Structure 1
Amino acid sequence: MTKENLIITIRDYMFITIGVVLVAFGIQYFYAPNEIAGGGLSGLALVISNYIPSLSIGTIILLGNLILFIIAFILVGGDFGLKTIYASFALSFTMDFMEKVLHSHALTNNMILAVLIGTVIIASGLALALSLNASTGGTDILAKILNKYSTFNIGISLLCVDLFVVICGALTFGLGKGIYSLIAVIINGLLVDKVILIIEKKKENKVKDIDEISNKIV
């Protein structure tokens, strides 16, 4: 690995870590305490944790990801698989740290605010990871696979996969919270696409600036 590639790799993992922290923060301080199963393995973990309180959300996410890692390696590729393993382990660790050490709690009990603020934070984190060919694991892996082998963009893919989790959340926590979860999933799917487009546009502009500087030097 060249020095340039090493720097790029370190930079990628640094930004993936930031994305993971954002996702964990959104879940632990907005979704989980308000019982919003906003899609993904984290939403499914929230439902399972309700029936098996001895298992933390972070632990359930870790166990669920073990199965999906193999799928990621086979169908998406090694680079995506390695980054996803890192991101999912980091997410489980960060969520457990926030829950058990920082004693995470609801920053607001207003369901609308919890959905809006939590989803913006989580979508930003997911988009940051996905733009670097990574995933926080769980149903994001399935969405990435659907995105790769179909004409669906990543946001619509996330929406399709997450609908199942929303239904489980509605059956567990009630129709009212299920509706809030559905709203969260829809907003998340739309926001992820928007944020990824912004990130990709900034990357393209940066490349153009570098090319222009290079041409001037030549």
Structure 2
Amino acid sequence: MKKNNNFASTLKDYVLITIGVILVAFGIQYFYAPNEIAGGGLSGLALVISNYVPFLSVGTIIFLGNLILFVVSFILVGGDFGMKTIYASFALSFVMDFMEKVMHSYALTNNLLLAIVMGTIVIAAGIGMTFAINASTGGTDILAKILNKYSRINIGISLLIVDLFVVVCGAFTFGLDKGIYSLLAVIMNGLVVDRVTIYIEKKQKEKANSDIEKLAS
């Protein structure tokens, strides 16, 4: 019975990770990438690199970058986080390439402010879902998780700190105006990720307490 419960719990985690990955990929491919918004993270850095190395897709660059960070996550955060992150990052690269090469993703809006707001909400919701179940979509999210684990800095601020470098690179590559929009995206992302993570963790605790009460009764 316990094994069945563990399997159901693990399956639920990976379903949530998959949904989170799809949200992140959608936000990047339909809002950020076509508008050249480097909104932080490895995905934002990949947009910058892809601009200089166009024969490499954004998804491929993310995949290569994640390979370097996997070992770090296993050593400093733990095996459970590492395995879930490997799945999430591989899935993100696959889904992004699928959206780009098969679905031929395009900008749902060319209004930069609207793209920032809508893209950030979608992406942050996906990232928050993965963080809440001890995973990440890879890239600089791994660094944010490490910073969050070994300090008292919450996950949203941790993301903001590690993403500032990417924003600066994006400003140099795509222009100061888009750099400012990218900074706005990073700040919004940190705030929304915090809210989503706290909400999901609260619901998980409520369910866990409810299950304990049922077993006790």
**Runs (5+) with no aligned partner, structure 2:** none
Provide the residue aligned with 1:173 in structure 2.
Answer: 174
Provide the residue aligned with 2:8 in structure 1.
Answer: 7
SS in 2 for 1:152: coil
Report the Cα distance in structure 1 between the residues aligned to 2:89 and 2:204, rounded to whole angstroms: 25
Report the Cα distance in structure 2 between the residues aligned to 1:208 and 1:73, rounded to whole angstroms: 30
Amino acid at match of 1:94: V
Provide the residue aligned with 1:193 in structure 2.
Answer: 194
Provide the residue aligned with 1:122 in structure 2.
Answer: 123
Amino acid at match of 2:74: F
Matches within 5 A, 1:1-218: 2-215=3-216, 218=217
Report the Cα distance in structure 1 between the residues aligned to 2:145 and 2:90, rounded to whole angstroms: 18
Task: Give the TM-score normalised by structure 1.
Answer: 0.97
SS in 2 for 1:121: helix
**Runs (5+) with no aligned partner, structure 1:** none
Q: Considering only aligned residues, what root-mean-square deviation do their CA atoms show, in Å?
A: 1.0
Report the Cα distance in structure 2 between the residues aligned to 1:10 and 1:213, rounded to whole angstroms: 22
Amino acid at match of 2:166: V
SS in 2 for 1:89: helix
Amino acid at match of 1:93: F
Q: In the TM superposition, what is the alpha-carbon distance from 1:202 to its structure 2 partner?
A: 1.3
Q: In the TM superposition, what is the alpha-carbon distance from 1:104 to its structure 2 partner?
A: 0.1
Amino acid at match of 1:86: Y
Q: In the TM superposition, what is the alpha-carbon distance from 1:211 to its structure 2 partner?
A: 3.5
Q: In the TM superposition, what is the alpha-carbon distance from 1:207 to its structure 2 partner?
A: 2.5
Structure 1 residue ranges (4+ consecutive) displaced by more than 4 angstroms after TM superposition = none
